[in-house]
Amino acid sequence: MKKIVVIILCTAYCLFAQLAKAQPWKLEQCINYGLTNSFAGQAKQLSEEDKKNNFQMARFDRLPTIKGYMENQSNFGQTQDMYGRQQRNDNLNGSIGISGEITLYSGGILKKQIQKASTDIETAHVETDIQKQDLTIQIIRSFLDVLLQKEILKTRDTAVYFARTQYEKAEKTTKAGQTAQTIVYEANAQLAREEQQAEVAKIEVKRLLMRLAHLIQVEHYETFEIEDKFPDEQVMQLWSSSKINIWMEEAIRNNPLLKKYEPMQRSLAMEGAIYKAQRRPSLKAGAAIGSPFYFGLNGHNAYGLPNNSFFPQIKDNFSQQLTLSLNIPIFDKHKSSSQYRQNLIAIDQLKIEEKQAYIQLKQDIESIQFDYQSYFQQYQSAKKATESTRIALDHTIKSYDAGRISVYDVYQSRNQFLATQSECLQAKYKCYFSVQLLQLYIGRLQKSE
């Protein structure tokens, strides 16, 4: 019975593994898996957690610090009292107690440190979003490269089928004495070339799949496969009616490349306020309770009386202490003022970077729009050219069958058709990538169903 159960479980596991291997990945799955398993993304998330921890530490700085202490020391040798008398003073002494300290006034440093730590969390979160956006672009590009190569492989398989058909036809006509033997040799050579090109295309598909699997951290790339959902032409036509000013407004609102500068500027402003606050006085209060103890090694205390035991001394010597500490900065070698000037320079530099990032984003959107429109026009014209060359190829084949042209004319017409078909595919995928990139930049990336 146990053997039957084990066999059933093993069979079920194998079936499940085969189904899992055969399940193709959608673009959304690749993006989500890549973002989850990316080492760079994990590092950014840990950095964000570190900023949150710094925020908690800044908040806890307002709380008092409390610690227990126990100090011990031993003295050996001669001592001299105020009357010049010398005597042995071998003893063991120390103190035990609890002390605490709290900052009453810091010139606003603690408050500004909390605010700065809070803005640092926002900055770290935005930087995580930027890393996710960059990785998403890489995954989309790699995913579309695989789809493009798969379509190229389809055209190569069609070319192999066409070449095989021509070879079989040439064999028949040669046996019937209608064509020369050289036509068979040329048809066979053409078939070999097409099969070689198809094999190269098949290997390239596997290479691009491996590259995508490595990008999203899939362990076993050999069984990795993506869904053959090719770009929808309606999506490309829909975006052709959009406006550049609308894209820019949405990109400015949603793109993390610009979102990071506002919390970074606030963080630098808080840092500058901290440098200014360092010039102000600070006030701390402290309290301590404890007891000193003393044991003469000769059995007597400093007054010549017998030593008391430890706990009676702790009880009898119990004392309390309150302290108030005022720290007034007078001269710090211009350190705080120099730090404040450096902070102002950093703020000005950040403002310049923000302007540069805004201009760069605007230029990127304009470039994407130009690329999209250019590739869309290329795609439309390439579609017409592909249809025209296909019709020309059909007529060329009919003319060859009628004996009016040679087989070389057929191959030339076929190569022209393959070239225009390849240009059409290239334009389509470049256009579709521009659409995906634009949607990502403005925060409206469509998810697969």
Q: Is residue 241 part of a domain?
A: no
Q: Which residues contact 348 (CB under 8 A, 6 or more apart)?
A: none
Q: Is residue 382 part of a domain?
A: no
Query: By mean pLDDT, which of 16-30, 313-327, 394-408 is the weakest?
Result: 16-30
User: Two tokens at 245?
Assistant: 């000013």
Domain containing 306 equals 60-79+88-105+287-328
Q: What is the pLDDT of residues 190-203, one digit of tens each?
A: 889 989 999 999 99
Q: Is residue 73 part of a domain?
A: yes
Q: Is the model's pLDDT at 117 over the cut of 80?
A: yes
CA distance 128 to 413: 52
Q: Is residue 318 part of a domain?
A: yes
CA angle 274, 276, 277 (to 5 degrees): 65
Highest mean pLDDT (candidates 17-26, 278-287, 362-371, 398-407): 278-287
Query: By mean pLDDT, which of 184-188, 340-344, 407-411 is the weakest?
Result: 407-411
Q: What is the pLDDT of residues 65-76, one digit of tens each?
A: 999 988 888 877
Q: What is the pLDDT of residues 293-306, one digit of tens each?
A: 888 777 766 666 77
Q: Is residue 315 part of a domain?
A: yes
Sheet with 91-105, edge to edge strand ranges: 65-75, 91-105, 282-296, 319-327
pLDDT at 181: 84
pLDDT above 70 covers a percentage of the chain that reads 88
How many domains are contained in the chain?
A: 1
Q: Is residue 311 part of a domain?
A: yes
CA distance 295 to 311: 12
Mean pLDDT of 342-366: 91
Q: pTM of the prediction?
A: 0.77
Q: Is residue 417 part of a domain?
A: no
Q: What is the pLDDT of residues 314-328, one digit of tens each?
A: 888 888 999 999 999
Q: Is residue 412 part of a domain?
A: no
